[in-house]
Structures are given as C-alpha cells and as structure tokens.
Structure 1
Amino acid sequence: MPGYATGRGVPEAGVPGPVEDDGPDADVEFWGLLYLDPLLEMRLLTAEPAVRAELAPGARPPGEALSSAALSLAGDARLGSVLRAAGIEEDFAAAVAAVLTAPDCRAFLRASATDGEAAVAARAFVAESVRRRTTRHGCAPVLDGTARDEAVAAIGALLPGADGTGAHRGPVTRRVGRLAGRLALALASAQAVKRRSALTDAAHPAAGDVLLYLSRGAAIREAVAAAVRAARPPVVLLAHSLGGIAALDLLVLRPLPQVALLVTVGSQAPFLYELGALPSLEHGSPLPAHVPRWLNVYDRRDLLGYVGAGVFPGRVRDVAVDSRQPFPLSHSAYWSNPELYRLLARELP
C-alpha cells in the first residue's frame, strides 16, 4: 500500500509529490497534547522556576484580572461569530468555566505574569471547547488549524496581558518537545482505560457504517445514483470518507457519463481495494475505462485518508492539503480548510 506508514503518496514521474517527511510538526504535536489535556501548558509553565516567582507583599495576583475578563468572553458578539465559525461556540462558556475552576489553572493564575499569559489561557479554552464538543457529539468539530488559531487570537485579544502573537515558545515548547511522545502515549492509555465505554461509543458508529455498507451497500449506491440523475450535467461527485467508497463503487459498477469528475476526500477506497474488500472491484483488476477523472484529496495527518495513485496508476491524482490538526480532528478539518475550496475552484467544470 503506497504511503501506508505515513499516509503520504509516492510521486508519479513528472508530477510534483507531497513534501518529504521532515519529522514531527511541533505545532500540531503540541495541539494534539492540548486536545487530550487542555491544562497541560498551564501545568508545565507553573512548574518552571521563573514562573513561580513570589509576589510582592500586597500585590494582586496577575491572574485575577485575566480570570475576571475571561468570564465575560462568551458575551462578546464579535468573538461569538469567530467561535461559531470554528464550531465551538456552543461549548465555549462551559469550557471557560471548567478551565478557570480547575486546580491547575488556579495555580497558574496565582503565579506571577508570564509572556503570553493570555494566549496560554486562550489555547486552554479552545482545547477544552473542542474536547467537550467531541465528547458530546461523538465526533470532532469541523475545525482546521487556521480557524483554531483565529479563535485563539480573538480570545487572547480580549484578555489582559495579550502579547498579540498567540504563539507558544520558550521553556514550554522545549519541554513539550521532550515529553510529547511519552506523554501522548500515557494520556491515551489512561483515557482508554478510564473511558472505555465512551471511546467505544465514539468509535463504533464509524466502524458500524463501514460494515453496514460492505454488507448492504446497494441501497446507498442507488441513493447516490438517483442524485446524479436529478442533477444537470456535468456532474461532480464530491465525497468524504465512506462516501468516497460508495461513490467509487457506483462509478465502477455503472457507467454514468454525466459524471465529469469524482473528488474523494479523506477516503479509504484505495485501502479497501488493497484488502480485497472493495465491493465493486476485485484486487488486481484495473479501474474500468468508464470511470471518470478522479481527484483524491488527503491530509498526511488523517489516518483514515489514503493515497491512490500507486494503487491505480494513471487513473487517480492525489492532492495533499494540510489542515494543521492532529488526528482525529484532521479527518473532518478538510471542510473548514480554504486549501480544499481553492482546489475545487480550479477543478470544477
């Protein structure tokens, strides 16, 4: 399976391929840890000796003003529109309250001021909002890295002590770099043990959908075919994840000349073909000539998005986008990523 270990494609001759593997992306790795533990950065900063400096007698803890301002964030209309666009507005107020009342946050706010204190709090609020939204709905919000960073910047701008950058740097970045792999594994293992039923409930709908499709996919394919017949040519099939499997199966099994382009996004169709589990096409058989032009969009951090050019040589073009989100958010972040829409604008007939 080309790119199986990394999710990246193998460039075709004369076709620019995805960038070479340049090691872990520190920013994405950092956010991956925050989504697991929104208070991690506060805890690491509080542990730094420079941050624990004693306050002068009678001085007001620097975090008091930040805490007071944070409680009024949910009422800001402009911020509300940014949070709404990011898909986390509904959970934001509860997330702020949860962060501010957590012992780790209280310890952080009691410490003396740090560079970027407002940005640290903003990142914790956003990470906790994402965690709550994912837990409540069983799936991550449609949120790419740019929308996330815009939310962090908008929150930080309303808090005292904002440095205007929103970037994490210095000792916390270095410490996260040292701890990231070990801590991610420990957190994931601890969460898996403690929240087995919740994780099962979150995971089984996707697996169940795939199993349902593989056993009873004809009705799903017919629904797609009916939509194609009702549309005015030229038709583009744009399909995400399992939808890409259904769309490809339909086009393999049935010539639909009105379909000018198939666009799959974060799809497992090449992987199922290599497993011999793609209903329409036995492994080793080529794509029929009537299958239209196929564009396959993937994110190298989306563990459910597979490349297809090496599996179907000359019949599919893989295009990488970067939503700057760790998995599983990367699997849904395509739809808030401007890169995808710029690509579609160039490709749609």
Structure 2
Amino acid sequence: MPGYATGRDLPGARAVDERDGDLDADVEFWGLLYLDPLLELRLLASESAAPAELAPGARPPGEDISAAALTLTSDARLRGLLEEAGTGDDFAAAVAAVLTAPDCRRFLRDPAAQDPAAVLARAFLAEAVRRRTGQEGPAPALDGTARDEAVVRITELLPGAAGPGTHRGPVTRKVKRTAGRLALGLASAQAVKRRSALTDAAHPAAGDVLLYLSRGAAIREAIAEAVRTAEPPVVLLAHSLGGIASLDLLVLRALPEVALLVTVGSQAPFLYELGALPSLEHGSPLPAHVPRWLNVYDRRDLLSYLGAGVFPGRVDDIAVDSRQPFPLSHSAYWSNPELYRVLAGELP
C-alpha cells in the first residue's frame, strides 16, 4: 500500500473534553439500541426488585405511561421532529411493538425509579430507526440531532419524566454501571451483531467501488455529460463513490466550467493513498486544472477520509457531526443542517 502507513487520509484522534466523551458514549449506545431497541429496558428491568402487590382497585404500574405513549403522535411538535429525524412513518408501529414486548412489560412493572419516560422514548425511536433501515431501497438519511430533540419531547409528553435537562443522551449512570457489569456477556453477542450490521452496510459501497474501478469510464462520462448540460459556474456535489468518480473526471479532463468540487463521505483520498485511484498515480500532485475542492466528512463515518494531508494546499476538509453511529453516519449528511450551512457559504 504505497504511502498508506502515513494515515494522512484518516480523521485523527483529537483532544476531547468530558462533554465530547459523553457524546461519543451516547452515539455508541444508540448504535447498540439500533441493533436491539429493548437493550436498555432489559438492563434496567434486570436490576428491578420484585414488584409489590397492588392494593385493591389500584392501577398497575406503567399503565398510565403506556396509555399516554399510544397518543404521542397526536402532538404536532413531536410529529415534526419525527419527520426531521426520518422516522415519522414508522413511529406508531414502533411504539406498539415496544409496549407489547415482554421486556417492556417487565420494565413497566416497577418503573418508578428508572426514569421510564426517557428510557421508553429511546426504545421507541431506536425501534423506529430499526424498522426504517430494514426497508428496501437507498440508505435513509436520519438526523441524530432531531432524534435527540424527539427524545426530549417524548419525555415531556409522558408521565414519569425525571425533569427538564436530564435527557440529553441515552446513557444514564445506572445503565453505565449495569452495562459495565454485563459487558463481558454483552460484548460477544453485540460484536457479532455489529459485525453483521457493519458488513451489510459496507458491502454495497465496496461493491460499487469495485464496479467503478473495473468500469469507471461510463460513470465518468455520465458526469461529464451532466456538466455539459448545466449552466456555468457548475458545482459538482458528490457522495461516496460519486466523489471518487468526480475527482477522477476532473483530474483526467480540464473542465473550466466546474468552479467547485464538493465531496461528501468520500473514499477518494483513501484510494489515492492505496495507489488505486485510476486517474492519479500515488505520489503525483493534483493537476493545476482541478478546481477548488471541499471535502466534507464525519469522524463517525468510517467510509469518509481526509484530503488535506494527502493533497496539501488543494483540499479543504470540513467536519460535520451527524450524532449517528456508523453505518447510519454515512448517509446522514443529507439530513444534517450543518452540510447545507456549509454549502450556502461556498456555492458560487
């Protein structure tokens, strides 16, 4: 791998304060919840003591919160947040699925000390995401910030919330302690699930890249034709494999009508470091005719790479944060307002 030991294309580790560390833990925990939406409920239910017997005529614990959960979608503000988060169509079914699950019923037998509103909110949204990502078609663009805001709104609507300002992220101290004690038991099963999910997410992108490397000329020509029919100045905005093909085209052919290249979640710098970029041999600089290049990446997106260290002075790397774990982070750019703020400031 020519030069790849330098790792100049990898988003490097950076100094983080305690709040960043908490956010990373939250994002990772969401990754586990997307695979197993009932995980947090199960962990907390396992710590609960046996529920006390009910007095005659008393309502069972959790009945009020379950009833309120079934009316959540009547709240207009929550519906808007669910749409922004990309989970609006799946949320009602997700709520019903969680509430009828045996793990949830056990959790609701003694919910008093467990901040049940926030725990249920996370389970509902994780199940909605699981359903959305399991559908056929392109990977959905799901916004983590809107998801977090939806968690807060749900806790406001459900009885049993712990109070304002306590629901920023999913990992409560109690869950951290419980997860820590069960880490060895969870690690193997979750690692298998994560490996399967990561493989399922990565193999379409890998297959696309391999197809491009063997038959890339037709793809580049399609991009060139789109440039020819557009009114100058042209901006090439390309995601993932599209960034590879667009850069290759601009290296191989001078297109003065293209004023700006914007790659999003691209592997182009990685292929160059491997010596596998078709248009440019490793060690060769970008030709002078290549236009200004903005490279948008998310450090949580394992399929995004940096360009500034690979092509000094020719690439501006711009970080955004989807608040989503991989693989959702690879498609979350398009629902992230940060990306559009970047574009608004850069488009000619």
Alpha-carbon offset, residue 137 of structure 1: 2.9
Distance 1:293 1:85, change over 3 A: same
Give the alignment of 1:268-307 within 5 angstroms.
268-307=267-306
2:207 corresponds to: 208
1:259 and 1:182 map into 2 onto residues whose CA distance is 54
Q: Which moved more, 1:150-159 or 1:88-97?
A: 150-159
Question: Does the CA contact (< 8 Å) of 2:8 and 2:306 recur in 1?
Answer: no
Alpha-carbon offset, residue 188 of structure 1: 3.3
Distance 1:184 1:244, change over 3 A: farther
Alpha-carbon offset, residue 273 of structure 1: 1.0
1:20 corresponds to: 15
1:267 corresponds to: 266
Alpha-carbon offset, residue 157 of structure 1: 2.5
1:336 corresponds to: 335
Root-mean-square deviation over aligned CA pairs: 2.7
1:98 corresponds to: 97
Alpha-carbon offset, residue 76 of structure 1: 4.2
* Aligned partner of residue 136 in structure 1, secondary structure: coil
User: CA offsets per residue over residues 234-274 of structure 1, 9 Å max, x none?
Assistant: 22111111111011011001111111111111100011111
Give the alignment of 1:176-187 within 5 angstroms.
176=179, 183-187=186-190
**Structure 1: 5+ residue stretches without partners:** 10-17
**TM-score when normalising by structure 1:** 0.86
Alpha-carbon offset, residue 148 of structure 1: 1.0
Write out the 4+ residue segments of structure 1 that deviate beyond 6 Å after TM superposition: 198-201
Alpha-carbon offset, residue 19 of structure 1: 3.8
1:84 corresponds to: 83
Which residue identity lines up with residue 183 of structure 1 in the other structure? L
Distance 1:317 1:178, change over 3 A: farther
Q: Which moved more, 1:28-37 or 1:117-126?
A: 28-37
Alpha-carbon offset, residue 7 of structure 1: 3.7
Distance 1:271 1:310, change over 3 A: same
Give the alignment of 1:235-246 within 5 angstroms.
235-246=234-245
**TM-score when normalising by structure 2:** 0.86
Which residue identity lines up with residue 297 of structure 1 in the other structure? V
1:127 and 1:2 map into 2 onto residues whose CA distance is 38
Question: Does the CA contact (< 8 Å) of 1:302 and 1:327 recur in 2?
Answer: yes
Distance 1:55 1:332, change over 3 A: farther
Identical-pair percentage: 73
1:242 and 1:276 map into 2 onto residues whose CA distance is 16
* Aligned partner of residue 232 in structure 1, secondary structure: coil
Distance 1:202 1:69, change over 3 A: same
1:67 corresponds to: 66
Distance 1:37 1:4, change over 3 A: farther
Distance 1:293 1:6, change over 3 A: closer
Distance 1:120 1:218, change over 3 A: same
1:94 and 1:21 map into 2 onto residues whose CA distance is 38
Q: Which moved more, 1:109-118 or 1:20-29?
A: 20-29
1:212 and 1:274 map into 2 onto residues whose CA distance is 19
Distance 1:202 1:267, change over 3 A: closer
Question: Does the CA contact (< 8 Å) of 1:4 and 1:306 recur in 2?
Answer: no
User: CA offsets per residue over residues 111-147 of structure 1, 9 Å max, x none?
Assistant: 1413531111010010011111111236643123211
Number of residue pairs aligned between Structure 1 and Structure 2: 336
